[in-house]
Structure 1
Amino acid sequence: MPSYAIVGSGWGGALWRHAVRSLPEHRVVEPVGEAPWGADVVVVATPPATHAAVALDLSATGVAVLVESPLATTLADADRLVGAVAGGARIAATSNLLHAPLVRAFLARAEELGTLGHLGLRAVAADRATDGPAHPDPAGVLCTVGPGAVSVVLATLRADRPVAVRASVLRRRDDGRTSAVEVTLGTASGTVATLEIDDAATAPIWDLQVASASSALRLELQPDPHLEQLGVDLPAPARRYAVEPAQLETFGYLDQVAEAGADLLGGRPPWLTATFGRNVLEVLCAAAEACASGAPVEVPWRGDRTRSLADLVAGPG
């Protein structure tokens, strides 16, 4: 029975605890006393700026570590995590949406389409400003909704890596944090991916569409989870867990625990490596710079790797 310790409060930590407790043959141990608290796996769900330091300290004890998305808030910190893995550390990135059954079905279908002409994603979260998250990041939506959205886009594009990023701020909160951003990625093959990310809406929407010369796919996770091809609904994956609320399975939280932890404990390379987490952060850094400058930004990103997402959104330092 694998045991998990979850370090950190807020929505992320609470969801991890709920997911672990909902799975048979999994248990939560409290992080009280000396790390790693008898845990087989430790989940880092602290404020994003502390992810790298906490993960590296924990990894030094020999325990397997899963890092809540985003992997870090600076590419310098992400580099440290990737370097630690190269040295034998068991550290993996996470993204619950990439474990969601409908997203998995979408990715399998999208791979059959060949070269994509266009990809469009609307990832709009309901405003939680009054009740969470416990540690709002100054980078705003690029650090809340952004990592999950970019993770799904990169997984959809597969080896077709972004080469240029444009981005603009659509809305800010009263404290200056971004709450809505539009990001456009251009890839090496010519695919254009447009992302609308928002964490201050009245109602959630999560809608992803891709098109090639031969077909088109649409995935909706919110408000009505379903997958369609050329306007025809496809069969939904059968539920695997008798767990409520169903959203724990729909949004990948259960399979994230079961699969990511099992890979690390079984000595297998994790599906979401630290390198993948760094690739996601690189796109977010380019988007943050583009928000501030109004100009397109090349990827691979050549900026100052010690600057955080919040620093980059704020403009030249």
Structure 2
Amino acid sequence: MTENARTPIGAGAGAGAGADAGVGVAVVGAGVMGAAHAAVVAADPRARLVGVASVPDTAAREVARRHGAELATDDYRTLLRRTDVDLVIVATPDHLHTPIAVEAALAGKAILVEKPLATSLADADEVIAAVERSGVAAMTSFNHRWIPSYAQAKAAIEAGRIGRPRMAYARKNDRIHVPTRMLSWAADTTPAWFLSSHDIDLVCWFFGEDRAVEVYATAVRGVLDGHGVHTPDAIQAQVRFASGAVATFESCWTYPDTYPTMTDSFVEVVGEHGVVHLDRKDDQVEVATPTEFEYPRISIMPVLHGVPAGALAHAVGHMVGCVADGTPPLVSLAESRRVTAILAAVHESVAGGGPVPVAS
């Protein structure tokens, strides 16, 4: 798998309309994340939001209107045919990423895919093959790498301050609002695909060259089945690494809606002679009103003085810069494939009830 720098926009005879108007961006998907991506692109002076696609196109029309895109459509291929589109952001439900990402890459567009890259190893390999065949820039939006506390933890671990990582624990748990009301497609994914994908990427990033080799996972069901959403309530997985290190990943999305934050997010890495402890539950902000107490989320998608900020904005801006300048993305496709391989083993273990090797 190659992660070479690409030809920058505007360099050479192959440059399109983006050479004069910045990086032309199309967003496929107009749900929560698609709308957030569109807002970031519209605010980036190096980029231009060309169009938005969704099925039906009702949401795409609203997102396009709000952020000044010239085109809204229910057919993403219309956007792929545009010569002024340089970058396609795939922000559809988890299980729908692959065909869009493959077609976009084969159309010569750089791609930024919401996490996870794909929900099977075969699909991940299909995306990677299309990217390598076309030579376009590609990245999965593991935006947590742009949260300052996680980046600082990575630097501390890489500098050897806690010694070699030997154990990790990570949880990401959501209110029940997410699978029952926010996501119409929750039954087509699981809390591990939707939530643990971020944490698995982070822990593997923290662990460096150490490779995941085996997974044992279990799932709990019942609460969401009672709501007519047929997917696990929670999944816990233990991952063993080649060095003997272990990591436990917890994902649950049945917290009560009275919980003071949408997502309870925690990561701990224990090294040979130190520990890194990251608790993002409250993001250091508390708000109390006569009717509720909450921890507003400020790390991922805050709006600062009317402009999108935070980790998502940094990740999208990074990818826009990669396309504009021809520099390689921070998150490689090999790393994205690794997350998919581990999660595929998690779900195989849940189904079979025993340990499962992680595919290489």
TM-score of Structure 1 vs Structure 2, range by shorter chain = 0.7 to 0.9
Which residue of the partner structure matches residue 66 of structure 1? 112
Partner residue of 1:126 out of 153, 175, 194 = 175
Partner residue of 1:79 out of 98, 108, 125 = 125
Equivalences for residues 220-299 of structure 1 within 5 A: 220-224=279-283, 243-244=303-304, 249-250=309-310, 252-299=311-358
Which residue of the partner structure matches residue 92 of structure 1? 139
Structure 1 residue 24 displacement after superposition = 4.4
Structure 1 residue 190 displacement after superposition = 1.4
1:54 aligns with 2:100: yes
Structure 1 residue 25 displacement after superposition = 4.1
Structure 1 residue 248 displacement after superposition = 5.9
Mapped to 2, the partners of 1:19 and 1:115 lie a distance apart of 37
* Matched position secondary structure for 1:272: coil
**What is the root-mean-square deviation in Å for CA atoms of aligned residues?**
2.6
TM-score with structure 1 setting the length: 0.82
Distance 1:155 1:246, change over 3 A: farther
Structure 1 residue 261 displacement after superposition = 2.4
Mapped to 1, the partners of 2:355 and 2:284 lie a distance apart of 34
1:169 aligns with 2:219: yes
Q: Is the 8 A contact 1:119 1:208 kept in 2?
A: yes
TM-score with structure 2 setting the length: 0.73
Mapped to 1, the partners of 2:251 and 2:305 lie a distance apart of 25
Structure 1 residue 225 displacement after superposition = 5.0
Q: Is the 8 A contact 1:93 1:276 kept in 2?
A: no
What stretches of structure 2 of length at least 5 have no aligned partner?
Answer: 1-21, 53-70, 286-298
Equivalences for residues 105-254 of structure 1 within 5 A: 105-111=152-158, 112=160, 113-127=162-176, 128-172=178-222, 173-174=224-225, 175-202=229-256, 203=259, 204-224=263-283, 243-244=303-304, 249-250=309-310, 252-254=311-313
Q: Is the 8 A contact 2:26 2:51 kept in 1?
A: yes
Deviations along 1:187-215, one digit per CA (max 9) or x if unpaired, are 11111111111123233211111111221
* Matched position secondary structure for 1:102: helix
Whichever residue aligns with residue 203 of structure 2, its letter is V
Deviations along 1:62-108, one digit per CA (max 9) or x if unpaired, are 22111111111221111111112222233222211122222111111
Q: Is the 8 A contact 1:171 1:181 kept in 2?
A: no
* Matched position secondary structure for 2:85: coil
Equivalent residues, number: 287
Q: Is the 8 A contact 1:91 1:274 kept in 2?
A: yes
Mapped to 2, the partners of 1:183 and 1:99 lie a distance apart of 25
Deviations along 1:137-173, one digit per CA (max 9) or x if unpaired, are 5232122112112111211111111111111113442
Mapped to 2, the partners of 1:74 and 1:290 lie a distance apart of 14
Which residue of the partner structure matches residue 308 of structure 1? none
Q: Is the 8 A contact 1:10 1:132 kept in 2?
A: no
1:19 aligns with 2:40: yes
Structure 1 residue 27 displacement after superposition = 3.5
1:101 aligns with 2:101: no
Mapped to 1, the partners of 2:307 and 2:175 lie a distance apart of 15
Mapped to 1, the partners of 2:276 and 2:321 lie a distance apart of 31
Structure 1 residue 61 displacement after superposition = 2.3
Mapped to 1, the partners of 2:252 and 2:104 lie a distance apart of 33
* Matched position secondary structure for 1:145: helix
Q: Which moved more, 1:215-224 or 1:280-289?
A: 215-224
Whichever residue aligns with residue 255 of structure 2, its letter is A
What stretches of structure 1 of length at least 5 have no aligned partner?
Answer: 227-238, 302-317
* Matched position secondary structure for 1:265: helix
Equivalences for residues 40-51 of structure 1 within 5 A: 40-51=86-97
